Amino acid sequence: MKERQRLDTAINGIRNLERALGDNIELIAMGEEEGDADIVAEAEAGIRALQKDVGERQIETLLSGEADSNDTYLEVHSGAGGTESQDWASMLLRMYMRWGQRSGMKVEVLEEQDGEEAGIKSATILLKGHNAYGKMKVESGVHRLVRISPYDSQARRHTSFASIWVYPVVDDSIQVDVSESDVRIDTYRASGAGGQHVNTTDSAVRITHLASGIVVQCQAERSQHKNRATAWNMLRARLYEEELKKREEKANAQAASKTDIGWGHQIRSYVLQPYQMVKDLRTGVENTTPQDVLDGEIDEFIEAALAQRVFGGEVEVSDVD
């Protein structure tokens, strides 16, 4: 039923686009025949308005992975550099939360470790929405920030790094087997702001997968039982993401140098001083309004990275038929 609903939505969307385009083309023909420039201008504006919807559906055609339509977990980790990197990590967390909200997704904070002075050491959020993983998977990697530090009394320029890790929520259609003998489970007190209960009980849960070294943790709920269940789901999702990565690397061995966006690879640079520029180092896409980007307007980077992932090379989304 879920698959049928997805297909119905896609088919009806294309039919609506075709109908709207046909109506506007007829209006242009009628306006030209009657010499009515206002009708022609109105119809042309209507066609331009369809371009955004067409672009979104164009990107959806690039999302053919078996988990692309799933919800997704997104982890943010600050790099070396103390307060600077921790503040940068919090800026990235806000960017992705705003992107999720702009995209009509439900955003949940599952875990957050505050920095000593400002920002965060790490955080995990859950993005719930159609194609959440398919769009976010190209964001995994290292993000670099260059700016005049607000924490430096001499106003010197600093470079900070933070890492993003994205992996899909494993739904009922995906089976991942892992037993308790394969993991170590630790409980601890939740950090950060909370009521009289949050910081007085060992409600937070951390699970370590012994064979792979993968660590997941959750402190979103007051109940240790609920946090444990969420952490297990996160672990299964991480293990599944690892398997997807292995399959992709095997299938695209010849193009690995073009499509590798794995952990530890710098993918984007955000420069706030001495000039303003956000540049994706994989696709070459640039944006000269970094404040808009940090406010969640990252679709152009996602679209170009998806196009490159499918077709290779520097591909403009508008060039993809």
Least confident of 27-41, 193-207, 256-270: 256-270
pLDDT grade for 126, boundaries at 50, 70 and 90: very high
Domain boundaries, the chain: 2-60, 72-169+256-319, 180-249
Per residue in 255-277, pLDDT tens?
A: 343 333 334 468 999 999 889 99
Name the residue with higher pLDDT: 202 or 259. 202
Query: Residue 253 has what pLDDT?
Result: 52
Give the pLDDT score at 212: 87
**Cβ 219 vs Cβ 227: under 8 Å:** yes
Higher pLDDT: 199 or 317? It is: 199
Q: Which CATH class is domain 72-169+256-319?
A: alpha beta
Q: What is the pLDDT of residue 265?
A: 64
pLDDT beyond 80 at 312: no
Name which residue leads in pLDDT, 29 or 170: 29
Q: Give 274: exposed, middle or buried? Use CB within 10 Å, 0-12, 13-18, 19+.
A: exposed
pLDDT at residue 313 tops 60 = no
Residue ranges of alpha helices (H) inside the chain are 2-34, 37-60, 83-102, 132-136, 224-251, 256-259, 290-294, 299-311
Span 19-46, average pLDDT: 92
pTM (two decimals): 0.69
> pLDDT, tens digit, for every residue of 172-188?
666 777 888 889 998 88
282-307 pLDDT, tens per residue? 999 999 999 999 999 999 999 899 88
Tell which residue, 126, 60, 116, has the closest CA to residue 299. 60
> What is the structure's pLDDT at 318?
43
Q: Do domains 72-169+256-319 and 180-249 have the same CATH topology?
A: no
Q: Which residue has the higher pLDDT, 52 or 199?
A: 52
CA dist., res. 194 & res. 89, Å (int): 21
Q: What is the pLDDT of residues 16-30, one digit of tens each?
A: 999 999 999 999 999
Range 180-249: architecture per CATH? 2-Layer Sandwich (3.30)
* pLDDT grade for 199, boundaries at 50, 70 and 90: low
* pLDDT on residue 293: 97
- The residue-averaged pLDDT of 150-155 equals 78
Half-sphere exposure of 38 (CA within 13 A, CB side): 0
